[in-house]
Structure 1
Amino acid sequence: MRNENTSIDKGMMNKIFRRSFMFGASWNYERMQNLCFLYTLMPVLKKVYKNDKEEMSIAMKRHLEFYNTHYTFNPFIMGVTMALEESEGNAADRSISGLKTGLMGPLAGLGDSMMGLTLIPIIFSIGASYSKDGSLFGVFLALILFNLINITIKYVLLKLGYTKGAEYLSKPETKANLDKITNTAVALGVMLVGGLVPQWVGVKLALSYTQGDLVIQLQDMIDGIIPGILPLLLTLGMYKLIKQGKNPVLLILGLIILSIPLVALGILG
């Protein structure tokens, strides 16, 4: 069982914040930031579950699920997760997973637009104006400005996610609303992840039919009927094999090996 006498103090919060700077150290192609998330959260899990290995195992397995969002906005999700782990523990297993899934997509988009497409170009444009004559001052200025803003946002979001998450969870009506929020978050997350399939998975047929001056590309015909169906079928097939216990690394190697002769034979482009 979860330890009821837990409290995430300022020291614990700062420890989680420091660990968040290593968030990209264990990125992987199978579940992306899951190892990073678990590593960052481990001090909280150890404090919540103490020496209960069974409960700890359940919590760790939960946070090894697929996870990927923007590095700057991740601390908000981390803070909300900390509040749920502290107050509910493994009883909120589905809620924690659902909220993570639902929040990571929108916050990833927000982070990309605010940081990657807005803040970084503005700051480094300012830096470039000071370095147009070859001075390194502009480079250091841009790096200092960016990190000051980025680090501040991350720390504020971590505290906001934890305090507001804890505040929300303490309300009497939370239990009634949590399932609705979780279901909505799961549905949103599934749609967002599904929308990424044709962008992240590339399957293009090179087969064509030629009759005189007429050339019909099979890939164009398929895209005209059901766009993105081949990446979707490949993803669903891989998902089914993984669910059956197949090794993801071996599946990836198998795809690479299979793709080489298919490209050589002109079947794949």
Structure 2
Amino acid sequence: MSEVTKKISPKTLKKSFLTWFFFNGCSQQAESMLGMAFGHAMSPVIDELYDTKEEKAEALQRNITLFNTEAQVGSICNGIVCGLEESKANKQCTSEVIDSVKVALIGPTSAIGDSLWVATIIPILLTICMSISQANQAISWMGAVLYMIVYPIGTFLLSWWLFRLGYRSGLTGMQSMMSSGRLDQLTNAMTILGLIVTGALTASYVSFPLPIQIVKDVFDASTGEILEGVVLFNADDMLNGIFPHLLPLLLTLGVYYLYAKKKWSPLKLMGVILVLALAVTGIGYLFGVYT
């Protein structure tokens, strides 16, 4: 008599996904990164697929090893591993394959997730919500409310769709995408889009005025009157007339260089920005821009 094919129930799949969605960062640490959270999310699947205590212990052990990804897009990894564990329970897959797949998925899912979700979708959503808040003081609260609604719902729907996609397509679908080059194309496209969004946010929300101006009382020969406080020279207007938002761009590039290349800490960078702001403000008072 043939053995009954083991299948993960929809209820268990949902439980596994919800565990990952709500607890993916609860146990992040240096030794296994998200490994413990991954094993926690896989525990309902393991309990359903395997019968003996030894089989469950072995499965749990291989799923708490080193793992790291961007949690939202990375939910596709959970779906794929659920499918592989199902195959393993039916003796159609080996533990080595599952371990190798988990390691192989770390790079592409992290890159796509950071480019698509962290560097593109979240900044765009924040830009829209901040614009709504700044557009009208009477409804400034709408931006925050919109973000609190759209972000968690959007995150949940994206993660759940990717989780089911990973479970349905499995390793074959992921290999097909990687071998066709579509994965690299998607990664490059998301990286470029993320850089464009970052550039737009820099121009829109990073402020670095140059408060240097020359103000004099000027005699108007046509009217015979003395015009008081005429601005003869404004360094900020002149600079923006030649290259709009040049100083915010240079400030952003400088912060990136110090953080990414020189490995400065965020606290040190904030201290430098504070000192720079005090110096520029002092220049503004010296030239009479701020009174």
Tell me the TM-score range normalised by the shorter chain: 0.5 to 0.7
- The equivalent residue for 1:72 is 72
Q: Counterparts of 2:117 and 2:75 in 1: how far apart (Å)? A: 15
AA paired with 2:57? S
Q: CA deviation at 1:148?
A: 2.3
Structure 1: give runs of 5+ residues left out of the alignment. Answer: 170-176, 182-269
Q: Are the structure 2 counterparts of residues 36 and 138 from structure 1 closer, same or farther at C-alpha, using a change threshold of 3 Å?
A: same
- The equivalent residue for 1:129 is 131
- The equivalent residue for 1:100 is 102
Q: CA deviation at 1:5?
A: 4.0
AA paired with 1:154? S
Corresponding residue SS for 1:14: helix
Deviation track 1:65-103 (CA, whole Å, cap 9, x = no partner) reads: 100000102221111111111112485111101111111
Kindly indicate whether the alpha-carbon contact (under 8 Å) linking 2:39 and 2:64 is maintained by their aligned counterparts in 1. Answer: yes
Q: Are the structure 2 counterparts of residues 48 and 112 from structure 1 closer, same or farther at C-alpha, using a change threshold of 3 Å?
A: same
AA paired with 2:141? L
- The equivalent residue for 1:31 is 32
Q: CA deviation at 1:108?
A: 0.5
| Max Rg structure | 2
Corresponding residue SS for 2:156: helix
AA paired with 1:63? N
Kindly indicate whether the alpha-carbon contact (under 8 Å) linking 2:130 and 2:143 is maintained by their aligned counterparts in 1. Answer: yes
- The correspondence for 1:113, drawn from 102, 115, 123, is 115
RMSD between superposed Cα atoms in Å: 2.4
Corresponding residue SS for 2:29: coil
Matches for 1:164-183 after TM superposition, within 5 Å: 164-165=169-170, 168=172
- The correspondence for 1:162, drawn from 164, 167, 173, is 167
Corresponding residue SS for 1:131: helix
Indicate the percent of aligned positions where both proteins have the same amino acid.
29
AA paired with 1:27? Q
Kindly indicate whether the alpha-carbon contact (under 8 Å) linking 2:37 and 2:64 is maintained by their aligned counterparts in 1. Answer: no
Matches for 1:157-236 after TM superposition, within 5 Å: 157-165=162-170, 168=172
Deviation track 1:186-207 (CA, whole Å, cap 9, x = no partner) reads: xxxxxxxxxxxxxxxxxxxxxx
Matched residue count: 168
Q: CA deviation at 1:126?
A: 0.6
TM norm structure 2: 0.54
Q: CA deviation at 1:9?
A: 2.2
- The correspondence for 1:144, drawn from 143, 149, 154, is 149
Kindly indicate whether the alpha-carbon contact (under 8 Å) linking 2:125 and 2:147 is maintained by their aligned counterparts in 1. Answer: yes
Q: CA deviation at 1:4?
A: 5.1
Structure 2: give runs of 5+ residues left out of the alignment. Answer: 180-291
User: Which of the pair has the greater relative contact order for Cα pairs under 8 Å at 6+ separation?
Assistant: 1
Corresponding residue SS for 2:71: coil
Corresponding residue SS for 1:88: helix
Corresponding residue SS for 1:71: coil
Q: CA deviation at 1:145?
A: 1.7
TM norm structure 1: 0.58
Q: Counterparts of 2:124 and 2:4 in 1: how far apart (Å)? A: 47
Q: Counterparts of 1:105 and 1:115 in 2: how far apart (Å)? A: 15
Q: CA deviation at 1:54?
A: 1.6
Corresponding residue SS for 1:68: coil
Kindly indicate whether the alpha-carbon contact (under 8 Å) linking 2:35 and 2:64 is maintained by their aligned counterparts in 1. Answer: yes
- The equivalent residue for 1:59 is 59
Deviation track 1:13-49 (CA, whole Å, cap 9, x = no partner) reads: 2111211121111111111101100000100001111
Corresponding residue SS for 1:65: coil
